[in-house]
Structure 1
Amino acid sequence: MGRPRNPLLDRERITSTALRLVDTQGEFSVPQIARTLGVQTASVYHHVDGRDGIVELLRERVCDAIDGETLGLEPWDAAMEAWARSYRSAFAAHPRVIPLLMTSPVRAPKVLAQYEHAVGRLLDAGFALPDVMPVIIALENLVLGSALDLAAPETMWELADETATPRLARALGAIPEGRADQAFELALTGYLAHVRTLLDVS
């Protein structure tokens, strides 16, 4: 038999399959990917560096949706705000991948290049070197937490007896529509206000 015109397996298909599995069940395994694609597990390992390699492919795929051009905006705080919004949007599309990526070291060259850009942007703005990574990590904590919040149930607090927690019940009843977006805006505004003070003392 001749070889098929289209290969049965490549890194793109492996990544797409892994992402579908994670979106559906919050996890993946190499044997699951192989079964889904109709190939032997060993065949998958010919294309990727094991499970860790697939995680990095997932990181690249999700981060491809982040608009790195936002980091070139002026002034620097407008750049960080736009980057945060794009970052949140990219991960909000695949919230169940967040735990996988946040518990694995970042190795993907394309993703590291975006961090390099962010670091350079902050240094060029005048931030002290020891402040740069905390500023970036804090932004990530804010963004990824918000991306998870967007995927959360609309009702996160279930009160069996409102009389036991009357103030909480009133506060929950006053939550406006779009609570995740409002909370994100509040957190982002506070984050940027504090980060500006770091620049003032640098």
Structure 2
Amino acid sequence: MQTPEQTSRMGRPRIPRLSRKAIGREALMMFEEEEGLSIPRLAERLGVRQSSFYKHVTGRQEIIELARGSLVDRVRIPESAPADVDTAIRQIFEALRSAYSQVPALLPLLLAQPVSHPAALALYDRFAGTFVSTGVPAHLVIPTLETLDSAAIGASLDAITMESAWSISEEDRPSFPHLSAVQQALATVQVDRFAFLADVLSAGLRAAIEGGS
């Protein structure tokens, strides 16, 4: 016959139902599937009481940061280090943009708080090392990372909002001749806007390096 102590031990799950990693992973999936974050709904998805969260996190802001940490797992960058600044810019921009585009509802919240999750800090540390190794002066690395991050988030949001930022009716086109003309030019020559943006960022960084900024 089992003692009460043995019965108690057997009744406990071997793996805790809730953990910071599980919260972050499920929160990220919630942003992806339900386009928002509700703590009561998140508790429901995890099969726990809402009060259980506060044994692991302090509140909504920390849950968002845990979701950022889980998003890092979706950032795919080549194993081989880029040999030059241009390649580094393109690879990192595309890696961030591809990951961000999966969870657009999370992006405005990421912009509202600093990066503090260890996995995210490790990713940016790797990016910083990449830029230093390709010849970017140390004082330009943080501005480069910030610009890339903002550009990747903006590109991800643009991709899901509208095809064009300008809407001009046919009857109004004579009133806006220059904008109408360049719109028509774009319709005849296809431009990869993401690649173009990466090229602009790369050219700007090279110009800053060469100019001794």
For Structure 1 versus Structure 2, the TM-score category normalised by the shorter chain is 0.7 to 0.9
Residues 37 and 120 (structure 1 numbering): CA distance in 2 closer, same or farther, change over 3 Å?
closer
Given the alignment of the two structures, is residue 142 of structure 1 paired with residue 155 of structure 2, yes or no? no
Q: Is the 8 A contact 2:132 2:141 kept in 1?
A: yes
Given the alignment of the two structures, is residue 41 of structure 1 paired with residue 50 of structure 2, yes or no? yes
Residues 183 and 12 (structure 1 numbering): CA distance in 2 closer, same or farther, change over 3 Å?
same
Given the alignment of the two structures, is residue 165 of structure 1 paired with residue 173 of structure 2, yes or no? yes
Mapped to 2, the partners of 1:68 and 1:185 lie a distance apart of: 16
Q: Greater CA deviation, 8-17 or 46-55?
A: 8-17
Out of 54, 73, 90, the residue aligned to residue 82 of structure 2 is: 73
Out of 6, 14, 19, the residue aligned to residue 28 of structure 2 is: 19
Which ranges in structure 2 are unaligned for 5 or more consecutive residues?
1-7
Mapped to 1, the partners of 2:79 and 2:131 lie a distance apart of: 13
Scaled by the length of structure 1, what TM-score is found? 0.81
Out of 186, 192, 198, the residue aligned to residue 208 of structure 2 is: 198
Residues 162 and 71 (structure 1 numbering): CA distance in 2 closer, same or farther, change over 3 Å?
farther
Quote the residue 1:151 is aligned against: 160
Mapped to 1, the partners of 2:163 and 2:206 lie a distance apart of: 33
Give 1:158 deviation, angstroms: 4.4
Residues 114 and 38 (structure 1 numbering): CA distance in 2 closer, same or farther, change over 3 Å?
closer
Given the alignment of the two structures, is residue 100 of structure 1 paired with residue 80 of structure 2, yes or no? no
Q: Is the 8 A contact 1:18 1:28 kept in 2?
A: yes
Given the alignment of the two structures, is residue 187 of structure 1 paired with residue 197 of structure 2, yes or no? yes
Residues 182 and 38 (structure 1 numbering): CA distance in 2 closer, same or farther, change over 3 Å?
same
Scaled by the length of structure 2, what TM-score is found? 0.78
**What percent identity do the matched residue pairs reach?**
30
Q: Is the 8 A contact 1:71 1:79 kept in 2?
A: no
Residues 67 and 38 (structure 1 numbering): CA distance in 2 closer, same or farther, change over 3 Å?
closer
Which ranges in structure 1 are unaligned for 5 or more consecutive residues?
none
Kindly name which structure, 1 or 2, has the bigger radius of gyration based on alpha carbons: 2
Give 1:192 deviation, angstroms: 0.7
Give 1:104 deviation, angstroms: 1.1
| C-alpha RMSD over aligned residues | 2.9
Could you tell me which amino acid in structure 1 is paired with residue 69 of structure 2? E
Cα deviation digits, residues 26-73 of structure 1 (max 9, x gap): 421322211333321111222333222211111111122223555822
Mapped to 2, the partners of 1:174 and 1:197 lie a distance apart of: 28
Could you tell me which amino acid in structure 1 is paired with residue 28 of structure 2? L
Equivalent runs, 1:104-143 vs 2, <5 Å? 104-143=113-152
Given the alignment of the two structures, is residue 52 of structure 1 paired with residue 61 of structure 2, yes or no? yes
Mapped to 2, the partners of 1:77 and 1:171 lie a distance apart of: 27
Cα deviation digits, residues 93-130 of structure 1 (max 9, x gap): 11221111111111011111222222233233333332
Mapped to 1, the partners of 2:186 and 2:15 lie a distance apart of: 53
Q: Is the 8 A contact 1:71 1:117 kept in 2?
A: no
Residues 154 and 76 (structure 1 numbering): CA distance in 2 closer, same or farther, change over 3 Å?
closer
Give 1:156 deviation, angstroms: 5.1
Give 1:162 deviation, angstroms: 2.9
